[in-house]
Amino acid sequence: MWLKGITDEDFVNYRVPSMFIATTTCDFKCDRDCGRQICQNVELAHQDNIHTGDDYLINRYLKNPISKAIVFGGLEPFDQWQELFNFIQKLRMQYGCKDPVVIYTGYTEQEIDGHLRFLMSMPNIIVKFGRFVPDQQPHMDPVLGVNLASDNQYARQIS
Protein backbone atom coordinates (compact mmCIF):
# COMPACT_ATOMS: atom_id res chain seq x y z
CA MET A 1 0.00 0.00 0.00
CA TRP A 2 1.20 3.49 -0.82
CA LEU A 3 0.84 6.03 1.98
CA LYS A 4 2.14 9.32 3.29
CA GLY A 5 2.53 8.29 6.90
CA ILE A 6 1.41 6.23 9.87
CA THR A 7 0.51 7.38 13.37
CA ASP A 8 0.35 4.35 15.63
CA GLU A 9 -1.69 6.04 18.36
CA ASP A 10 -3.99 8.82 17.20
CA PHE A 11 -6.49 10.33 19.65
CA VAL A 12 -8.04 12.98 17.36
CA ASN A 13 -9.99 11.28 14.57
CA TYR A 14 -12.08 8.66 16.39
CA ARG A 15 -13.54 8.01 19.83
CA VAL A 16 -10.91 5.38 20.70
CA PRO A 17 -7.13 5.37 20.18
CA SER A 18 -6.50 4.50 16.54
CA MET A 19 -3.79 3.79 14.03
CA PHE A 20 -4.02 6.63 11.50
CA ILE A 21 -2.95 5.87 7.93
CA ALA A 22 -2.46 8.91 5.69
CA THR A 23 -3.22 8.14 2.05
CA THR A 24 -1.36 9.56 -0.92
CA THR A 25 -3.73 11.17 -3.39
CA CYS A 26 -6.50 13.73 -3.66
CA ASP A 27 -8.02 15.77 -6.46
CA PHE A 28 -8.52 18.74 -4.07
CA LYS A 29 -12.27 18.81 -4.66
CA CYS A 30 -12.75 20.96 -1.54
CA ASP A 31 -10.51 23.67 -3.02
CA ARG A 32 -12.24 23.39 -6.40
CA ASP A 33 -15.74 23.65 -4.89
CA CYS A 34 -14.72 26.55 -2.67
CA GLY A 35 -12.90 28.45 -5.42
CA ARG A 36 -9.70 28.87 -3.41
CA GLN A 37 -7.01 26.86 -1.63
CA ILE A 38 -8.47 25.76 1.73
CA CYS A 39 -7.12 22.23 2.20
CA GLN A 40 -5.46 21.71 5.56
CA ASN A 41 -3.58 18.75 4.09
CA VAL A 42 -1.92 20.51 1.16
CA GLU A 43 1.53 20.14 2.78
CA LEU A 44 0.92 16.42 3.24
CA ALA A 45 0.45 16.09 -0.51
CA HIS A 46 4.05 17.29 -1.04
CA GLN A 47 5.59 14.71 1.31
CA ASP A 48 7.24 11.63 -0.12
CA ASN A 49 5.13 8.54 -0.64
CA ILE A 50 6.03 5.41 1.32
CA HIS A 51 5.31 1.89 0.12
CA THR A 52 4.61 -0.77 2.71
CA GLY A 53 2.91 -4.13 2.70
CA ASP A 54 -0.56 -4.73 4.06
CA ASP A 55 0.77 -7.54 6.27
CA TYR A 56 3.32 -5.20 7.82
CA LEU A 57 0.65 -2.57 8.59
CA ILE A 58 -1.82 -5.10 9.97
CA ASN A 59 0.76 -6.77 12.20
CA ARG A 60 1.97 -3.39 13.41
CA TYR A 61 -1.61 -2.53 14.34
CA LEU A 62 -2.39 -5.87 15.98
CA LYS A 63 0.79 -5.78 18.11
CA ASN A 64 -0.09 -2.35 19.53
CA PRO A 65 -2.02 -2.78 22.81
CA ILE A 66 -3.27 0.84 22.76
CA SER A 67 -4.93 1.35 19.38
CA LYS A 68 -8.42 -0.16 18.97
CA ALA A 69 -9.36 1.06 15.46
CA ILE A 70 -7.79 1.96 12.11
CA VAL A 71 -8.51 5.33 10.51
CA PHE A 72 -7.74 6.17 6.87
CA GLY A 73 -7.52 9.85 5.98
CA GLY A 74 -5.04 12.61 5.33
CA LEU A 75 -5.82 13.00 1.67
CA GLU A 76 -8.54 10.97 -0.11
CA PRO A 77 -8.61 7.23 0.71
CA PHE A 78 -11.24 6.46 -1.93
CA ASP A 79 -8.83 7.68 -4.63
CA GLN A 80 -6.81 4.57 -3.68
CA TRP A 81 -9.87 2.35 -3.80
CA GLN A 82 -8.26 -0.95 -4.76
CA GLU A 83 -5.51 -0.65 -2.15
CA LEU A 84 -8.04 0.38 0.51
CA PHE A 85 -10.40 -2.50 -0.28
CA ASN A 86 -7.56 -5.05 -0.43
CA PHE A 87 -6.28 -3.90 2.98
CA ILE A 88 -9.71 -4.14 4.63
CA GLN A 89 -10.43 -7.50 3.02
CA LYS A 90 -7.11 -8.91 4.25
CA LEU A 91 -7.64 -7.45 7.75
CA ARG A 92 -11.07 -9.08 7.97
CA MET A 93 -10.63 -12.36 6.10
CA GLN A 94 -7.02 -13.39 6.67
CA TYR A 95 -6.43 -11.86 10.12
CA GLY A 96 -9.99 -12.10 11.47
CA CYS A 97 -9.82 -8.59 12.93
CA LYS A 98 -13.25 -6.98 13.32
CA ASP A 99 -12.06 -3.73 14.94
CA PRO A 100 -13.57 -0.52 13.53
CA VAL A 101 -12.16 0.79 10.27
CA VAL A 102 -12.94 4.47 9.79
CA ILE A 103 -12.54 6.15 6.39
CA TYR A 104 -12.48 9.94 6.14
CA THR A 105 -13.65 11.03 2.71
CA GLY A 106 -14.57 14.32 1.11
CA TYR A 107 -16.93 12.52 -1.24
CA THR A 108 -20.68 12.36 -0.76
CA GLU A 109 -22.46 9.02 -0.42
CA GLN A 110 -23.80 9.38 -3.95
CA GLU A 111 -20.35 9.94 -5.45
CA ILE A 112 -18.98 6.66 -4.08
CA ASP A 113 -22.14 4.55 -3.93
CA GLY A 114 -20.57 1.64 -5.80
CA HIS A 115 -17.61 1.46 -3.41
CA LEU A 116 -19.92 1.64 -0.40
CA ARG A 117 -21.86 -1.38 -1.62
CA PHE A 118 -18.63 -3.43 -1.63
CA LEU A 119 -17.68 -2.18 1.85
CA MET A 120 -21.08 -3.13 3.25
CA SER A 121 -19.99 -6.76 2.95
CA MET A 122 -17.24 -6.12 5.52
CA PRO A 123 -18.09 -5.78 9.22
CA ASN A 124 -17.64 -2.62 11.29
CA ILE A 125 -16.90 0.01 8.62
CA ILE A 126 -17.53 3.70 9.35
CA VAL A 127 -17.29 6.42 6.71
CA LYS A 128 -17.07 10.17 7.35
CA PHE A 129 -18.60 11.95 4.35
CA GLY A 130 -18.43 15.52 3.07
CA ARG A 131 -16.05 18.14 1.81
CA PHE A 132 -14.52 20.76 4.05
CA VAL A 133 -16.39 24.07 3.84
CA PRO A 134 -14.64 27.00 5.53
CA ASP A 135 -16.11 29.39 8.11
CA GLN A 136 -18.53 26.95 9.74
CA GLN A 137 -18.89 25.95 13.36
CA PRO A 138 -17.47 22.55 14.31
CA HIS A 139 -20.06 20.07 15.52
CA MET A 140 -19.79 16.84 17.49
CA ASP A 141 -20.42 13.80 15.37
CA PRO A 142 -22.15 11.11 17.44
CA VAL A 143 -20.74 8.21 15.40
CA LEU A 144 -17.10 9.30 15.53
CA GLY A 145 -17.23 10.98 18.92
CA VAL A 146 -15.13 13.89 17.63
CA ASN A 147 -15.79 17.35 16.19
CA LEU A 148 -16.18 17.73 12.44
CA ALA A 149 -15.40 21.07 10.82
CA SER A 150 -18.31 21.64 8.43
CA ASP A 151 -22.10 21.39 8.68
CA ASN A 152 -22.30 19.00 5.71
CA GLN A 153 -19.87 16.50 7.23
CA TYR A 154 -21.17 13.44 9.06
CA ALA A 155 -20.20 9.84 9.72
CA ARG A 156 -22.27 6.75 9.18
CA GLN A 157 -21.73 3.15 10.22
CA ILE A 158 -22.21 1.47 6.85
CA SER A 159 -21.77 -2.12 8.01
Quote the pLDDT of residue 155.
98
- Dihedral sign from CA coordinates of 3, 74, 60, 62: negative
Using a 10 angstrom Cβ sphere, with 0-12 exposed, 13-18 middle and 19 or more buried, the burial of residue 106 is: buried
Quote the pLDDT of residue 29.
80
The answer to whether 83 and 51 have CB atoms below 8 angstroms apart is no
Identity of the amino acid at 49 = N
Q: Which helix (H) or strand (E) holds 67?
A: none
Size (the chain), residues: 159
With a threshold of 0.75, does the pTM exceed it? Answer: yes
pLDDT along the chain (159 residues), means of 10: 97 98 86 75 86 98 98 95 97 98 97 96 96 91 97 95
Distances in whole angstroms, Cα of residue 53 to Cα of each of 20, 36, 57, 76, 90: 16, 36, 7, 19, 11
Q: Which helix (H) or strand (E) holds 32?
A: helix 29-34
DSSP 75-134: S-GGGGHHHHHHHHHIIIIIT-----EEEE-SS-TGGGHHHHHHHTTSSSEEEEE----S
Quote the pLDDT of residue 56.
98
Quote the pLDDT of residue 158.
96
Quote the pLDDT of residue 117.
95
Quote the pLDDT of residue 39.
72
Quote the pLDDT of residue 37.
77
